């Protein structure tokens, strides 16, 4: 169902879920991640954040992997779930949201399922190769979601945290539709998480392989001691 919403609205939790479909498909097999993202109107592409060029550095080597599993926390209108579903050759995409209305989205996609649950408590849906936190962006929630869902990330997998500006934007508590205690918005929750993980890495007490930061983004790789493989080697 097409809708006259402005492009950026399809990724907002304040938007009533709309199951947007483009008027015509593109050749997903050759399109870049940014092209597919813009096609489905997720704000991960050029519509707003421009995350997809960074994502593709990490995800391109996985694009043809068989049996890939991707978990995204925060569904909105399902635009980014559809992006992953068309970008990867053979992937199961699981979206998680607390809003019941999200359950009716993406029904035309056999490789997408949507779970209505609180990701802070962990998602009992098996293991994943990629986990993306595009949820509340509240600092304390980010920590709880990471702690609860990191164990579900497979060795050699990738964990992504989006929209980190929200953890230090003083206006964010007023901008979000999510109600939370003021203390939960404090940047220190997130900073403490990162500091603890860096210390554990230094002491060889962690299965975190790397933590890479970009504008508003963190990419955290999980070690695979058996193979020595890394998700992204740089370059």
Catalytic residues: 137
Q: Which two tokens stand for residue 208?
A: 């975190």
Nearest one of 190, 195, 183 to 165, comparing CA atoms: 190
DSSP the chain: ------GGGGG-TTSPP-----SS---TTT--HHHHHHHHT-TTSTTTT--HHHHHHHHGGGTT-TTEEEEEE--TTSHHHHHHHHHSSSEEEEEEES-GGGGGTTTT-TTEEEEES-GGG---S--EEEEEE-S---HHHHHHHHHHHGGGEEEEEEEEE--GGGGT-TTHHHH-S----GGGG-HHHHHHHHHHHHHHHHTT---EEEEEEETTEEEEEEP-TTT---S----
| CA–CA distance, 62 with 223 (Å, rounded to integer) | 16
Asked whether the beta carbons of 93 and 70 are under 8 A apart, the reply is: yes
């Amino acid at each position: 169902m097409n809708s006259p919403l402005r492009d950026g609205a399809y990724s907002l939790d304040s938007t009533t879920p709309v199951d947007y479909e483009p008027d015509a498909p593109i050749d997903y097999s050759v399109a870049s991640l940014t092209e597919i993202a813009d096609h489905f109107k997720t704000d991960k592409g050029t519509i707003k954040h421009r995350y997809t060029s960074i994502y593709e550095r990490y995800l391109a080597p996985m694009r043809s992997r068989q049996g890939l599993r991707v978990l995204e926390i925060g569904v909105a209108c399902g635009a980014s779930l559809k992006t992953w579903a068309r970008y990867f050759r053979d992937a199961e995409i699981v979206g998680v949201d607390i809003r019941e209305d999200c359950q009716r989205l993406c029904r035309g996609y056999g490789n997408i399922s949507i779970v209505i649950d609180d990701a802070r408590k962990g998602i009992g849906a098996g293991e994943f190769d990629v986990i993306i936190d595009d949820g509340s962006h509240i600092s304390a929630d980010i920590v709880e979601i990471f702690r609860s869902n990191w164990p579900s990330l497979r060795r050699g997998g990738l964990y992504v945290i989006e929209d980190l500006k929200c953890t230090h934007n003083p206006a964010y508590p007023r901008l979000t539709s999510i109600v939370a205690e003021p203390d939960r918005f404090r940047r220190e929750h997130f900073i403490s998480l990162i500091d603890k993980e860096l210390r554990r890495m230094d002491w060889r007490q962690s299965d975190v392989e790397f933590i890479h930061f970009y504008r508003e983004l963190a990419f955290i790789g999980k070690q695979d001691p058996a193979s020595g493989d890394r998700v992204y080697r740089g370059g």
